[in-house]
Amino acid sequence: MRQNSSKPLWEWDMYSKRCEVSRYEVWRFATDALVSSIKYLQSDTSINTMKIRNRLTLIYAIAAIIVMTVLGELVYYFTVRFHQQEFAERLEGRVQVTEQIFLEKDEVLGQAVRDKFLQRLDEEEEYVITLKQSGLDSLDDLFYRGLSKDISTSNSLTFNKDKRQGVAKIYDLPNGKFAVVVTAVDVFGKTKLDFLKKILIIGMLLGLAILVMVGWFSSQRALRPLETKIKKASEISASNLNLRLEVRHPDDEIGELTIAFNRMLDRIQAGFESQRGFVANASHEIRNPLTAIIGEADLLLERDRPIAEYKATLQNIVTEAERLQKLANQLLELSKAEAMDSLSELHAVPLDQLLLETLDRFPAERVKLDFEECKSEPIVNANPPLLQTAFSNIIDNALKYSENQLITIEFQKIADEFQVKVSDKGIGISAEDLKHIYVPLFRSRNARKLRGHGVGLPLARRIILLHKGRLLVTSNGEAQGTEVTITLPAHN
């Protein structure tokens, strides 16, 4: 009886070997290309000086090359595997035909098999070998060394010899044990694979060209709004800081960038206007005392005067000089505060006590206190001298501009913060002037008749900010009084 053949043990044929080498080379190329591309894009090379459009196109092209190369290789690889299996099945059928004709000698069955497998394979060769020692040796001589050993451990196998592919099977019949070997060349399959390779190469080149062009035009279209905004931004200078970039799509990245740029222009414009105002105000504040000093000195030099007049005039000069000195000192303090990013030496101090110590410098009959009782001691992290300076400036302004009326100081705790509110019923601040009160040396129109320099409030605000607090000034208009609210975080 003939033994049933086991499931074939597939091995690489000549196409498999070529495909294996090709696949390895392609994968190595794709991996090396990807790693090299990433290193190149991250390195400080000329690519970092490219325009974004060129850089995006280059990245797109590299990615397309890698993807299409790997995709083409996978298509070719699986097509080769399909042809391998198909050709091996045909060889398997030829082995069965050979066994039935030459070993079983069944003419009726042989004729049916011939009709079924009438077409011969290209360069087909058939071998029927008796598995004796001489037959085993002939297997090694005819095909490859070690075939006899391989076939003895398996009833069926495939093998390669040069460009030929073969299938060998063992049959155990009553008249002996035989090996049937059929080899052939898959000329048709190789022709189809060569044609497929050409199609894949041409298709990959055409696809790559199309993808690069699509990437180029897509990046150009996507970056066109950015180029327009760059051109518009180049037209903005110190003389036309009121210009802004148009925001068409606020939800995309370019829209968000445009909004951020416009906000930056707002801050720059505010800084420029503040600087212009500071220069104008500083000129005014410095010119008035100097004019008074020069006028008094010229008056003394006109003629001889009594000693009493000399003393009175010199006293006026000293007063104006002290006014200039006070202005210089306040500007120096403000400059130091503006230069600080944070306070290095902070101490846990009771805020109510610090406020009461500050009030000792002012007439008690003009101050009304309204302190809310706290369940625990009101402790804040503070630099006591600086915080007292801020309180002193705010209280001094309230007394100065309240026209001898009482001012009210309220103290309370709200959540994890302490709030100090200084209210007066004085000259107030107009809505227009309220926008500029934090500009150094700025003074509202109705306050210019009173002595002052316009430095105290900006200095107080800066000190409060350094203590991570907030300062808010509100007024309902001229002659309606002013309310200053200071909020400081409680000590943890």
DSSP 373-396: PPSS--EEEE-HHHHHHHHHHHHH
Q: What is the pLDDT of residue 82?
A: 85
CATH of domain 341-489: 3.30.565.10
H or E segment to which residue 49 belongs: none
Q: Which of 244-253, 319-328, 332-341 has the lowest mean pLDDT?
A: 332-341
- Asked whether 184 and 123 are in contact (CB, 8 A), the reply is yes
- Asked whether 395 and 362 are in contact (CB, 8 A), the reply is yes
Nearest Cα neighbor of 194 from 94, 83, 64, 29 is: 83
Q: For 106-152, how does the pLDDT look when each residue is reduced to its tens digit (9 = 90+)?
A: 555 555 555 555 566 777 788 887 777 566 667 777 777 777 777 77
H or E segment to which residue 193 belongs: helix 187-234
Instruction: Give domain limits for the chain.
Output: 14-201, 253-337, 341-489
Q: How many CB atoms lie within 10 A of CB 279?
A: 11
DSSP state string for 414-465: ETTEEEEEEEE-SS---HHHHTTTTSTT---GGGTTSS--S-HHHHHHHHHH
- ∠ at Cα 384 (383, 389), nearest 5°? 105
- Asked whether 72 and 200 are in contact (CB, 8 A), the reply is yes
Q: Please report where in the chains the tokens 């799509």 appear, as a residue.
A: 249
Residue 29 has pLDDT above 50, yes or no: yes
Burial code of 352-372, b = ≥16 C-beta within 10 A, e = fewer?
bebbeebeeeeeeeebeeeee
CA 253, CA 225: separation in Å to the nearest integer? 11
**Bridge partner list, 126:** 182
Q: What is the pLDDT of residue 3?
A: 32
Q: What is the pLDDT of residue 235?
A: 85
Sign of the torsion angle spanned by Cα atoms 335, 339, 345, 346: positive
CA 17, CA 9: separation in Å to the nearest integer? 16
Q: Is 343 exposed, middle or buried (0-12, 13-18, 19+ CB in 10 A)?
A: middle
Q: What is the pTM of this model?
A: 0.51
DSSP secondary structure code for residue 344 in this structure: S
Q: How many CB atoms lie within 10 A of CB 51?
A: 11
Token digits of residue 194: 């060569």
Helix (H, G, I), strand (E, B) or coil at 170: strand
Helix (H, G, I), strand (E, B) or coil at 15: helix
Q: For 38-60, how does the pLDDT look when each residue is reduced to its tens digit (9 = 90+)?
A: 565 555 455 566 777 787 888 87
Burial code of 456-490, b = ≥16 C-beta within 10 A, e = fewer?
bbbbbbbbbebbebebebebeebeebbbbebbbeb
DSSP secondary structure code for residue 2 in this structure: P
Token digits of residue 177: 């044990």
- ∠ at Cα 148 (142, 152), nearest 5°? 150
Token digits of residue 135: 């037959």
Nearest Cα neighbor of 53 from 272, 258, 226, 250 is: 226
Percent of the chain with pLDDT strictly greater than 90: 8
Phi, psi of 179 (to 5 degrees): -115, 125
Q: For 434-489, how does the pLDDT look when each residue is reduced to its tens digit (9 = 90+)?
A: 888 888 878 887 787 777 778 888 888 988 998 899 999 999 888 788 999 999 99
CATH of domain 253-337: 1.10.287.130
Q: For 141-183, how does the pLDDT look when each residue is reduced to its tens digit (9 = 90+)?
A: 777 777 777 777 777 788 777 778 888 888 877 777 788 888 8
Confidence of residue 210 (pLDDT cuts 50, 70, 90): confident
Helix pair angle (187-234, 253-302), 10° resolution? 20
CA 29, CA 69: separation in Å to the nearest integer? 9
CA 107, CA 114: separation in Å to the nearest integer? 10
Phi, psi of 62 (to 5 degrees): -65, -45
**What are the residue ranges of helices labelled H in 235-349?**
253-302, 307-339
Cα Rg, the chain, nearest whole Å: 49
Q: What is the pLDDT of residue 31?
A: 61
Residue 321 has pLDDT above 50, yes or no: yes
